[in-house]
Amino acid sequence: MNFKNLSEYFKKIEETPSRLEMTRLLAELFNKIHADEIDKVIYLLQGRLCPTFTKLDFGLGEKMILRAAARSLNIEAKHFMNSYNKIGDIGKTVEEFKKDIMTIGERDMTIVEVFTMLEKIAHASGDGSQEVKIGVLSELIQTLDPLSTRYVVRIPAGTLRLGFSDMTMLDSFSWMVAGNKSLRPTLEKAYQVRPDLGYLGKRIKAKGVQNIDDIEPEVFTPIIMMKAQRLSTIGEIVEKIGESIIEPKYDGFRLQVHYRNHNKQKTVKLFSRSLEDVTYMYPDIVEGVKKEIKAKEIIFEGEAIGFDPYTGNFLPFQQTVQRKRKYDIEEKAQEIPLRMFAFELLFLNGTSCINKPFSERLTTLRKLIKISGDIFKDTLLPTEERKANDKKVIEKMFEEAVSRGLEGIMIKKLDGRYQPGARGWNWIKYKRTHSNKVTDTFDCLVMGYDYGKGDRAKFGIGAFLVGVYDDKSDTFKTVAKVGSGPTEEEWKDIKKRLDRFQTKNKPALYEVHKNTQSDIWVKPSIVVEIQADEITVSPMHSSGYALRFPRLKGMRDDKKPQDATTVSELLEIAKPQK
């Protein structure tokens, strides 16, 4: 298929307000393309050249893209910049100029040709690499038709957001094979273990869905992390799962560790909850894994928290979070070293462990960690754990955890299996609610914003609309408009972030009542942490509930849109208020 034909699909998908129509268009596209190119098409649809968990940096800033565009179209840079400032979209700006200019050598290019040239941009490095990148992008702009340039420029700019989720993509795979979404459960099960849509699409296209539910974990491909359920009393928890393993609920960074020791060459990768490769951020954890893990290949999870090297105490999250940074990493690692408590084993020496009983997984994991017993020397530690099924004993363990400054406790079913991506009853988290006020926070997707009034007119934003995720319908439903919490500088930063993902029409994944619209819509991209006093029933919000007195607590850059608080979780949090 030519890239021109693919761009026509990009345009149709971008403009449709219907999730069902998006699914149909994707299935139609996948049926037309060859098995050898479907993985490349899937990555390009995501604005990438590789799976989302693989680090990708085109190394092309906005100024470099503007230079490439102006050069390729033989336009004065100032003139191009003025048009860009008016249009506000670098892709559409290039497209408009290209319509009026017939460049030498313009022709149809195949998807593979364009993909290869984009790879050349991403992989160029060293002296002279900037000119190579600008030159390759200029050549693409000169060669492609106007509509194709809109999308090919947006890919390295990081602004190709077509408004569909990974779940929509899985539905489209089902429609491609079966003509309906009946295969979605099977496909989703495979995706949770191997969240590489390009790999899955290519396998389905070539072999159908036979044996796809037998896909096993693979080292250096992250598994979507299991989530915990909530219950409001320990009595309910004991009744639900009986005798269980109790662990402290650490307040730090949840990490999934992938490790291979091949021919004495030790390789470690660390993935965050959102499947981001964060290996470079935590060199002390990497070294700890290399020294303390006794295995050839392993995938395990744990929580990394800040450690005071002088007192031996653990630090609150406000200090631990300072380790999440892109610069001065080694210096900060010396100032705030981390200790990682390992609590889950997923894969060991070629064998998946996710279907083994939790008690067996935990026992095996403890044997694989080589510790000296000196907290000042050991970076990697097995989690503290204890069996219990008595309410009073569990209550005492909870009180002990809170007195140590921890969030609460995790209660895990003895024979429970690991359920990738699921919020099952094998794990339950318990945090105390002391009154009718909500003490939990909510991870919400920013769906749009309203223009500012009064003092906020200068920011161009006065409040933003947030929603929670309905995993049954793969949609986002509103719960609040937030106008409190940010400082003046934070308001400016929020608007700058949101404007990168501004879109003319309400995204197809959003369910919004007519009385709760936004002045500006934002594509699904930014998750924020919201604090509120209460959850109330609300006919104004599509979730059926509203957060009372909502205020911004912080940005959740570690979470993807589908990692937001779910509608069912919102209802569970609301129960203690009744």
How sure is the predictor about 319, in pLDDT bands with cuts at 50, 70 and 90? confident
Give Cα separations from 559 to 128, 224, 300, 545 (angstroms): 36, 12, 20, 23
| 3-state class (DSSP) for residue 436 | coil
How sure is the predictor about 62, in pLDDT bands with cuts at 50, 70 and 90? confident
Could you give the CA distance from residue 270 to residue 381 in angstroms, rounded to a whole number? 16
Tell me the pLDDT tens digit for each residue of 330-371.
Answer: 889 999 999 999 999 999 999 999 999 999 999 999 999 998
203 is in an annotated binding site: no
User: Taking 60 as the threshold, does the pLDDT of residue 13 lie above it?
Assistant: yes
Q: Does 247 or 407 have the greater pLDDT score?
A: 247
Rounded to the nearest angstrom, the gap between the alpha carbon of residue 264 and the centroid of all alpha carbons in its chain is 33
Could you give the CA distance from residue 538 to residue 424 in angstroms, rounded to a whole number? 28
User: Taking 50 as the threshold, does the pLDDT of residue 248 lie above it?
Assistant: yes
Question: 277 pairs with which residues across the strands?
Answer: 271
The confidence score (pLDDT) of residue 307 equals 87
Tell me the pLDDT tens digit for each residue of 103-150.
Answer: 677 899 999 999 999 999 999 999 999 999 999 999 999 999 999 999
The two structure tokens encoding residue 244: 């269980």
Could you give the CA distance from residue 276 to residue 47 in angstroms, rounded to a whole number? 16
Handedness of CA 411, 443, 253, 432 (dihedral sign): negative
Give Cα separations from 315 to 283, 410, 555 (angstroms): 19, 19, 20
Contact (CB, 8 A) for 537 and 554 = no
Q: How many helices (H) and strands (E) does the chain have?
A: 20, 21
The confidence score (pLDDT) of residue 489 equals 86
Residue of 133, 249, 477, 481 marked active site: 249
User: Per-residue pLDDT averaged across 153-173, rounded?
Assistant: 92
The two structure tokens encoding residue 577: 């208020």
Domains and CATH numbers, the chain: 48-157 (1.10.3260.10), 227-430 (3.30.470.30), 442-577 (2.40.50.140)
Report the percent of the chain where pLDDT is more than 90: 64
Question: 259 pairs with which residues across the strands?
Answer: 268, 298
List the one residue out of 231, 281, 293, 207 whose CA is nearest residue 440. 231
pLDDT-wise least confident of 266-270, 370-374, 438-442, 550-554: 438-442
Report the percent of the chain where pLDDT is more than 70: 97
> What length is written for the chain?
578
The two structure tokens encoding residue 458: 């200068």
Could you give the CA distance from residue 412 to residue 400 in angstroms, rounded to a whole number? 18
User: Per-residue pLDDT averaged across 441-466, rounded?
Assistant: 87
Contact (CB, 8 A) for 563 and 274 = yes
150 is in an annotated binding site: no
User: Per-residue pLDDT averaged across 216-231, rounded?
Assistant: 93
Q: Cα torsion at 49, 52, 56, 62 (round to 10°)?
A: 90
User: Taking 60 as the threshold, does the pLDDT of residue 577 lie above it?
Assistant: no
Q: Look up 249 and say whether it is catalytic.
A: yes
Q: Which DSSP letter does residue 369 get?
A: B
Q: Which range has the top average pLDDT, 54-68, 340-354, 437-451, 475-489?
A: 340-354
Contact (CB, 8 A) for 40 and 115 = yes
User: Per-residue pLDDT averaged across 78-101, rounded?
Assistant: 89
Q: Does 567 or 100 have the greater pLDDT score?
A: 567
Q: Which range has the top average pLDDT, 138-147, 154-163, 451-460?
A: 138-147
Amino acid at 495: K
Q: Which DSSP letter does residue 323 get?
A: G
Contact (CB, 8 A) for 168 and 19 = yes
| 3-state class (DSSP) for residue 268 | strand
How sure is the predictor about 434, in pLDDT bands with cuts at 50, 70 and 90? very low
343 is in an annotated binding site: yes
Element spanning 147, H or E: helix 146-157
pTM: 0.84
The confidence score (pLDDT) of residue 438 equals 56
| 3-state class (DSSP) for residue 359 | helix
| 3-state class (DSSP) for residue 299 | strand
Tell me the pLDDT tens digit for each residue of 172-188.
Answer: 999 999 999 999 999 99
Tell me the pLDDT tens digit for each residue of 481-538.
Answer: 998 888 888 898 999 999 988 888 899 999 999 889 999 999 999 999 999 888 989 9
As a whole number, the mean pLDDT across the chain is 91
What percentage of the chain's residues is helix, strand, coil (to nearest 5)? 40, 20, 35
303 is in an annotated binding site: yes
Residue written as tokens 């604090």? 531
575 is in an annotated binding site: no
CA angle 416, 421, 427 (to 5 degrees): 35
Question: 388 pairs with which residues across the strands?
Answer: 244
Biggest CA pair distance of the chain: 80
Q: List strands edge to edge, sheet with 408-413.
A: 227-230, 423-430, 408-413, 244-249, 386-388
Could you give the CA distance from residue 434 to residue 551 in angstroms, rounded to a whole number? 20
**DSSP states along 418-439:** P-TT-EEEEEEEE----SSS--
User: Per-residue pLDDT averaged across 374-401, rounded?
Assistant: 90
The confidence score (pLDDT) of residue 416 equals 95
- Contacts by 59-63 with C-beta closer than 8 Å and gap 24+? 59/121, 59/122, 59/124, 59/125, 59/129, 59/130, 59/133, 60/121, 60/133, 60/134, 60/137, 60/156, 60/157, 62/90, 62/157
The confidence score (pLDDT) of residue 308 equals 87
